[in-house]
Amino acid sequence: MESYKNLLHANKIWVDRHIKNDPSFFENLAKDHKPEFLWIGCSDSRVPAERITGTQPGELFVHRNIANMVVNTDVNMLSVLQFAVDFLKVNHIIVCGHYGCGGIQAAISHRRYGLLNKWLRNIKDVYRLHQAELENLSEHELTNRLAEFNVVEQVYNLAKTSIIQRAWHFEKRPLIHGWVYGLDTGLLKDIIMIGHETQLDPIYQFDFSDLKTGNPD
């Protein structure tokens, strides 16, 4: 059987299994969309958000890109973020990186990757911020430590958006978590968690004193 047909076949088995346990499973799922979590993860196929967290359809709102980046000019990511925060009212955002990340390896390799160079530049900037702690590490250690620093920086990149700051100001949510997944262990490592009491560098703080509600601009 051609490989893509396996996917369609597996889908039918998956549907049958759910309906056997709960005949209304899909009807109920179709009625509402109220995930509690926004997941921003790497596109790597070995880090499937729902599988590694034991979550079911309807629980995670998911955005994935190369090396789980939060880039402040990325309209795709910002649209996902704003919808999740302002309309779905998620209580948690999880930025999940992983050890052995190909995007991070590519960013420190000096190789040219065409268009991808522009995306990887954002990771090189994270390296530069933490260069003193990274430059004497072996390549393996460097890749993994940079994956951790990268998650921390992307967590703070979320906090620098007016979307997050407005929700923190008016609704004291969401909490933002930074995790790193071990491809060879299957385990998630909790690296950082920040919330509405977080003090950002003043230059990044927006003034909301002219707003009476947290409604979107």
Kindly list the catalytic residues: 42, 44, 46, 98, 101
Binding segment toward Zn ion, per CB under 5 A, in 94-102, 111-119, 182-190, 209-217: 94-102
Give the nearer residue to Zn ion in terms of CB position, either 173 or 189.
189
* DSSP-based three-state secondary structure for 75: helix
- Looking only at residues 1 through 30 of this chain, which bind Zn ion when binding is defined by CB under 5 A? none
**Number of CB atoms found within 10 A of residue 189's CB:** 17
Q: How far is the CB of 189 from Zn ion (least distance, A)?
A: 15
Give the nearer residue to Zn ion in terms of CB position, either 101 or 167.
101
Burial 125-156 (b: 16+ CB within 10 A, else e): ebbeebeeebeeeeeeebbbbbbbbbbbbbbb
What is the rounded CA–CA span in Å between residue 206 and residue 217? 13
Q: Is 126 in the site for Zn ion (CB under 5 A)?
A: no
Q: Is 107 in the site for Zn ion (CB under 5 A)?
A: no
39 with 32: CB under 8 angstroms?
no
Total number of residues that touch Zn ion (CB under 5 A): 4
Give the nearer residue to Zn ion in terms of CB position, either 85 or 96.
96
Q: Is 44 in the site for Zn ion (CB under 5 A)?
A: yes
Which of 101, 159, 163, 191 is the binder for Zn ion (CB under 5 A)?
A: 101
Report in angstroms the alpha-carbon separations of 196 from 173, 174, 176, 177, 211: 6, 8, 9, 13, 17
For Zn ion, the binding residues (CB under 5 A) are 42, 44, 101, 103
